[in-house]
Structure 1
Amino acid sequence: METFKYRELQQLLKSQIIKGVYKEGDLLPSENVLSSEHDMTRATVRQALQKMEDDGYIIKRKGKGSIVNLKKKRLGLLSFKGFSEVISHTDDKVNNQILEGPALQNWPDDFFYTLSEAESEVGCYFLHRLRLINQSPIMLEYTYIPNMNLPKFAEAKLVNDSLFTTLALNFEIEIISMDQEVRAVKADEELAAFLETEIGEPILHTYRKYGTSRKDFFIYSSLFFNTDSYAIGSYFQ
């Protein structure tokens, strides 16, 4: 019950910050006040505030309290660099959970990009992954790789948990370009469960088509980002 209460308070305070009830630099009510107002222990309130700080919504100052601070760490995940490459340049702890695949299958009906006749005929390898940073789920990935001259692709383990590194080292396929569509969607029950957010919360969704060094060989991804803890951006050099 107390776990539910801490999450309930965390979501309430986050919603109030997003809506502007508490603005940048504002002081949140004290632990004593929040404990009394929401009928919960100070330990539970402290847990909710700690999670708020971990997610980049507040900073705690000794002798002052919890101050609204929305300066989130930014990840360059909208660039065409892979997740592993982007995070390798940070001190964050990364965990990749393979939920399914790589597995050979037919292309989904109503696929989000138009496929060539050759692509449609050969099917694809499907890879479903959850990417976490410091134990927080950041990206839910659905990736489709054409079954075109990739011998034993599904049998081999990904090199350093990286699809792009595996393609480069094992098949001499480099990522050289990316077409991308970005939109905001509301989390449904499945997304909310995977990304540990609330149903109806805004989620960043991108469709991607990666161009490669191999002629007429493209990789396709549908990606969902949880921006509670990190801002998602691009780096250009």
Structure 2
Amino acid sequence: MKENKYYTIYHQLAEKIENGEMEAGSLLPSEHILAEQFGASRETIRKALNLLSQNGYIQKIRGKGSVVLDVKKFDFPVSGLVSFREIAESSGKAWRTNVHELVLIRPDDALARQLKISGKEEVWQVVRSREIDHENIILDKDYIRKKFVPSITRDICEISLYQYFEKTLGLVISFAKKEITVEKATEEDYKYLDMGEYNHVVVVRNHVYLDDASLLQYTESRHRLDKFRFVDFARREHR
């Protein structure tokens, strides 16, 4: 089927880019040449190239062609609300979530301020490390209001919290306020992450809101410096 064909071509080209057969900065062959190589139509090739572009493998430049991009780092969207599972699956690399803590707590004053609640309201504390290509490169610390999420299991934490919130509980996640900083690594970072020679992490703090503007979750996501680039898409408004 045509759909399977362009996915097959996409994965073959993506693999060549990832393993260095196609170097960053080089040009992909033209659509005509690729169509001959893969025995496919130009339309099928175009779909495969569009998928490569969407997932950050190539940049299409008018009059020049498709330029191979540096894919050594994972793109982390600044403005979007994207789960780790979605990022990991789009990378095509082996990934896993390791759950270190899942407990119900009463928040201290600092956490209560972050969640805008009293210290009497119960909160789920979830601590997970994220593994891609057999390296632990993200430490996620989630604090979720039990008022909206009555129960959570380790299996849910391993698969996807967002999937559970939206598909099972029917919660509508609307927006998040984010803060991004670079900070010295903590003992917890060294314990759960493969830090190597690095002693700083990129910290993304999220306050996640439902569609009625209720604050659902506060998350502290700690990323190894060398593995991510934080990207956004901005459009210039012409007046």
Q: How many residues align?
A: 164
- State the 1:73 CA deviation: 2.5
Distance 2:221 2:132 in 1: 16
Name the structure 2 match of 1:231: 228
Q: Residue deviations 1:8-62, cap 9 Å, x none?
A: xxxxxxxxxxxxxxxxxxxxxxxxxxxxxxxxxxxxxxxxxxxxxxxxxxxxxxx
Distance 1:91 1:115 in 2: 35
Spell out structure 1 runs of 4+ moving beyond 4 A: none
Distance 1:159 1:112 in 2: 22
- The answer to whether the aligner puts 1:125 opposite 2:124 as a matched pair is yes
Change (3 A) 1:217 1:172: farther
Distance 2:73 2:198 in 1: 24
Q: Residue deviations 1:144-196, cap 9 Å, x none?
A: 11011433x13473187100001111211132211111111111333123222
SS of the residue aligned with 2:190?
helix
Aligned partner letter, 2:72: K
- State the 1:99 CA deviation: 0.4
Name the structure 2 match of 1:196: 194
Change (3 A) 1:214 1:173: farther
Change (3 A) 1:192 1:157: closer
Change (3 A) 1:187 1:112: farther
Q: Are 1:77 and 1:83, in contact at CA under 8 Å, matched by a contact in 2?
A: no
Change (3 A) 1:112 1:225: farther
Structure 1 gap ranges (5+) = 1-69
CA RMSD of aligned residues (A): 2.6
- The answer to whether the aligner puts 1:115 opposite 2:115 as a matched pair is yes
- The answer to whether the aligner puts 1:143 opposite 2:142 as a matched pair is yes
Name the structure 2 match of 1:52: none
Aligned partner letter, 1:147: K
- State the 1:206 CA deviation: 1.7
Change (3 A) 1:143 1:208: same
SS of the residue aligned with 1:223?
strand
Identity value in percent: 17
Name the structure 1 match of 2:94: 93
SS of the residue aligned with 1:157?
helix
Aligned partner letter, 1:105: I
Distance 1:80 1:232 in 2: 16
TM-score calculated relative to the size of structure 1: 0.60
Distance 2:157 2:186 in 1: 32
Aligned partner letter, 1:233: F
Name the structure 1 match of 2:181: 183
Q: Are 1:77 and 1:86, in contact at CA under 8 Å, matched by a contact in 2?
A: no
TM-score calculated relative to the size of structure 2: 0.60
Change (3 A) 1:156 1:185: closer
Distance 2:213 2:192 in 1: 35
Change (3 A) 1:94 1:77: farther
- State the 1:113 CA deviation: 4.7
Aligned partner letter, 2:143: Y
